[in-house]
Amino acid sequence: MGWKVGKQPIRKVVEYFNFDYEYAKRPELVSFFQLAEGGDEFFVSDQRGLWSMFEDLYQPLTNRTLLGKTVTEIKYSDTSVEVTTSAGDKVIADYALCTFSTGVLASDAVTFNPPLPEWKKEVIFKNPLTVYTKIYLKFPSKFWDDHEYILYASEWRGRFPVFQDLERPGIFPNGSNLLLVTVTEDEGTRIERQKYNETMAEVMKLLRSIYGQGIPDATGKDKQFEQQKPFLFAPSWKQLHFKGKN
């Protein structure tokens, strides 16, 4: 309360780091009712991936889990639920737990019969998914500031505002030479829609304007996202991977 951003780039990036970086939306798009203080945050660098944390939960259910199936219709009543897949399979049960994202629920990907009530649709549309794009950069050597977070104050709010040094205790060891850039909302969508080499050229131009023309290049290795995930229906938590020449 009482904070005024004004036109100063430094104030824009400070606000971004404290708000957009956390909620992936500008302050004016978030209600006070949606604000919640989070708990401890952890960066998972385990090469097995985040899903390995849930092995004890899902292993006992593997023989009762159907994978590779796309749900297209859900019929429900007070006594049963019938789920139909794109292959024509039908599964009938007394109860069903729906775990679709709000992006899927707000789309026409799944037909509910009868349709969801209006009050439930209203809640779904009030909670759309947002864009949180991550760009990983790996270099032959480290040339940036020795701080976990490096903020870039641009006239263009949200333009590559937060760089995170991943060569930190508890994340990755010395010699990793990894930077993580985060962009959100409209800027994240713009990045995800443009060509791979265009994004890399933008990031390198910015880094050279900060650290000088002598810094090493980061070259593209893989592009592992699409603009719309078919089972998410919103560009969220996308990742770009760049790797140093050496």
Pairing of strands 71-76, 218-223: unpaired
The separation between CA 93 and the C-alpha centre of its own chain, rounded to angstroms, equals 33
Residue spans of the domains in the chain: they are 9-25+130-244, 68-125
Residue 222's pLDDT band (cuts 50, 70, 90): very low
Distances (CA, A) of 125 to 94, 115, 120, 180, 186: 28, 15, 9, 31, 19
**Buried/exposed 200-225: b ≥16 CB within 10 Å, e otherwise:** beebbebbeeeeeeebeebeeeebeb
**How does pLDDT run across 153-178, given as a tens digit for each residue?**
998 899 999 999 998 888 888 888 99
Token pair, residue 43, equals 């960066």
Architecture category of domain 9-25+130-244 in CATH: Alpha-Beta Complex (3.90)
Mean per-residue pLDDT of the chain: 83
What percent of the chain has pLDDT above 90?
38
pLDDT tens digits for 1-38? 556 777 889 999 999 998 899 888 888 877 766 566 66
Q: Is the pLDDT of residue 74 over 70?
A: yes
**Using CA atoms, how far apart are residues 121 and 14, in angstroms rounded to an integer?**
35
pLDDT confidence band for 182 (50 / 70 / 90): very high
Q: What is the pTM of this model?
A: 0.76
What's the CATH code, domain 68-125?
3.50.50.60
Helices (H), 36-117: 55-58, 102-105
Q: Residue 204 has which token pair? A: 């390198």
Q: Measured between alpha carbons, how far is residue 134 from residues 24, 176, 189 in Å?
A: 12, 17, 11
Q: How confident is residue 92, by pLDDT bands cut at 50, 70 and 90?
A: very high
Q: Is 183 exposed, middle or buried (0-12, 13-18, 19+ CB in 10 A)?
A: buried
Residue 102 or residue 211, greater confidence: 211
